[in-house]
Structure 1
Amino acid sequence: MEIPAEEPRFFQVEPLEGESLSHFLGRFRRENYLTATQLGKLTGIGAVISRWEKFYLNPFPTQQELGALAAVVEVKVERLIEMLQPLGVTMKPRPIRLCGACYAEVPCHRIEWQFKEKMKCDRHQLRLLTKCTNCETSFPIPADWVQGECPHYFLPFATMAKRQKRC
């Protein structure tokens, strides 16, 4: 008698308000002890996961790709689309930007920070940061934000708000 193979089960990760897809994918992978390559294999979309984590969204994710991801992460396709830039908005994948004051409120990378025309936080009227305020190291991709701090100086992102300039 053959025992049917069970579908893999994963810890569910709820998306945060305004969170970027890169940050969400990193949180999901860490919670489930997966690499980008493993998640790509599970979804059947391969290296696309790694590209999305780096904000390389050209070509833009298809409904089929988002559907495959949604089936694994158990998040609706519509919610995944909210983690991407709206149609007609250009992204700037580098440098990675953040508002320390926003991060202190909700510790996640927001997709709007990577919009090409976005240079300040509309909520706090602060210039977005592109590097650590102490060591000037550029921020890594949000998928790699494990502790929410500079990977070299270990200064928490939330603390950096004190040194953000007003706009």
Structure 2
Amino acid sequence: MEVVEIQPWLFQIEPLQGESLSHFLGRFRRANDLTPTGLGKATKLGGAIARWEKFRFNPSPSRQQLEALAVVVGIDVDRLVQMLPPAGVGMKMEPIRLCATCYTESPCHKIEWQLKVTLGCVGEARRRHRHKLSLLSECPNCGARFKVPALWADGWCQRCFMTFAEMTKYQKYY
């Protein structure tokens, strides 16, 4: 009798516009009940998944690594590249930054918020107008720093539970 290897199935998650790889990996893992280690095993990337969720892209993910990830998450490699910082642009690994106004419009962490060149948010507020708001790096209610976006399951502060939507009134124009 021939033994057939059973292929695991995974729920596919569509990336959101401008979403960071960290946030996407967290959403994918939660939808499929995976830990960073479990996703690392599934992709044969080991600890790279946990590093990427913390914005540790040194060394940068190779094309081969992104291809392995693309097979498992069901996303085109070029789409995954868009979730990374552009080549030659520095990243702020800490503190994690947030535009609560943008998050309210599209609930995801944007890669642009972590770029060193980003001074504030210039996300689309209403069709033709852009808002120019400072980014938050801690909860305005309790002062807790934001966790890595891979852990953002509910869109609120993990210490006091103030929602990101409630934080919009604390953002200042720059």
Q: What is aligned with 2:97?
A: 97
The alignment of Structure 1 onto Structure 2 pairs a total of residues equal to: 167
- Give the Å deviation of 1:118: 1.2
- Moved >3 Å (runs of 4+): none
- Provide the rounded CA distance (Å) in 2 between the counterparts of 1:53 and 1:110: 13
Q: What is aligned with 1:129?
A: 136
- Give the Å deviation of 1:3: 2.9
What is the one-letter code of the residue matched to 1:98? L
- Are 2:156 and 1:149 equivalent residues in the alignment? yes
- Are 2:149 and 1:139 equivalent residues in the alignment? no
TM-score (norm 1): 0.98
What is the one-letter code of the residue matched to 1:35? T
Q: What is aligned with 2:3?
A: 3
Q: Please tell me the root mean square deviation across aligned C-alpha atoms, in Å.
A: 0.7
- Give the Å deviation of 1:59: 0.1
- Give the Å deviation of 1:6: 2.1
Q: What is aligned with 2:171?
A: 164
Task: Point out where structure 1 has 5 or more consecutive residues left out of the alignment.
Answer: none
Q: Deviations over 1:9-34 (max 9, x none)?
A: 10010000000000000000000000
- Provide the rounded CA distance (Å) in 2 between the counterparts of 1:7 and 1:83: 28
- Give the Å deviation of 1:88: 1.4
TM-score (norm 2): 0.94
- Provide the rounded CA distance (Å) in 2 between the counterparts of 1:43 and 1:163: 40
Q: Deviations over 1:115-141 (max 9, x none)?
A: 012121113211000000100100000
Task: Point out where structure 2 has 5 or more consecutive residues left out of the alignment.
Answer: 124-130
- Give the Å deviation of 1:113: 0.1
- Provide the rounded CA distance (Å) in 2 between the counterparts of 1:21 and 1:74: 14
Q: What is aligned with 2:78?
A: 78
What is the one-letter code of the residue matched to 1:142? P
- Are 2:114 and 1:107 equivalent residues in the alignment? no
- Provide the rounded CA distance (Å) in 2 between the counterparts of 1:155 and 1:3: 52
Matches within 5 A, 1:17-36: 17-36=17-36
